Amino acid sequence: MPLKIAARVFDFLKCAPILDLRSPGEYACGHIPGAINFPLFSDAERALVGTLYKQEGSEAAIQLGLKLFGPKMAEVAAEASQLAKEGSIALYCWRGGMRSASIAWLLSFVGLQVTQLKGGYKSYRHFVHKEIAKQRDYLLFGGPTGSGKSEMLRRFGGDGGQVLDLEALAFHRGSAFGAIGQPPQPTQEHFENQIGSILSRFNGQSIIVEDESRLIGRCKIPDALYTQMQVAPLIVVESTREERLSRLMSEYGSFPKEALEAATRRLEKRLGRERCAVALRHLERGELKEMADLLLDYYDKAYAHASKRRSAPKFILRRDHESIR
């Protein structure tokens, strides 16, 4: 079967399935969203080949690579054939070099239609940076803690709106309590990959995104995107304090006491020792609403301080409890 070389990353992303031929360590650092790790070498084998390349040159490294890969050829071909969709499969390595070329030749030889990404993962990373840097029409949703911004974003997305949910991509709700109940956060590289992948699918209509600080847990919003967010129109979602407390109780009230305590202690310097101690006493007594009420004072002051620095147009959206059901 013929081998296709995708001229553009955008065309390659339409393929399925996509195999990432890099080592597990490279894949874990960042990959094309949805790609399946299909390593030609293990992390240890890749290190050996790389070391030999530096010490003795490409010929010696190629010979070692062939020695390591040779016994795996039949197994690799069989596994890829099982993964192929209607006889087609796509693949990439770091630069679109020997790893891609060798697997592409093998899979073509056994009858698969193979598409190889020109420039490999390196070209995909350039694509991601360009997508994030593009000037787009953003519309931000902001508001005090507990006002239901994330919930509104999910609703807009479910209704077909163009939503970039950064907290969902970062596996973090953006506060000291944001990691509770979440999977481990992605690497910065893969966080960017997910952002770029989603943006590349959007048309010219407005993109709705939640107003965030620069850091969401350990994930940093890319500078090119954050700069655009800071000048985008902002819709401020307002709810009554009672509604906000009810929402926070529903969202965090079922989490283990130990996790809530650890998160509260991380705020001690900002809360002050005395207020932190009071919050922890409420937690110990099971007075979660009183604890949340105390913490809202801190979060509201932080939000008001951050809001003063924004110069973009602001619009107020007031909602009642019934409107979110």
The residue count of the chain comes to 325
Concerning whether 29 is annotated as a catalytic residue, the answer is no
- Structure token pair of residue 167: 């907290």
Could you give phi then psi for residue 323, rounded to 5 degrees? -70, -15
Contact 85, 18 (CB under 8 A): no
Residue with tokens 């893969």: 190
Could you give phi then psi for residue 220, rounded to 5 degrees? -100, 130
Out of 15, 93, 219, 276, the active site residue is: 93
Amino acid at 9: V
- Residue 146 neighbours by CB under 8 Å, 6+ apart: 239, 243, 244, 245, 247, 248, 292, 296
Cα 169 from Cα 58, distance rounded (Å): 39
Burial of residue 204, with CB atoms counted within 10 A of its CB: 0-12 exposed, 13-18 middle, 19 or more buried: exposed
Cα 129 from Cα 139, distance rounded (Å): 21
Q: Which of the residues are catalytic?
A: 93
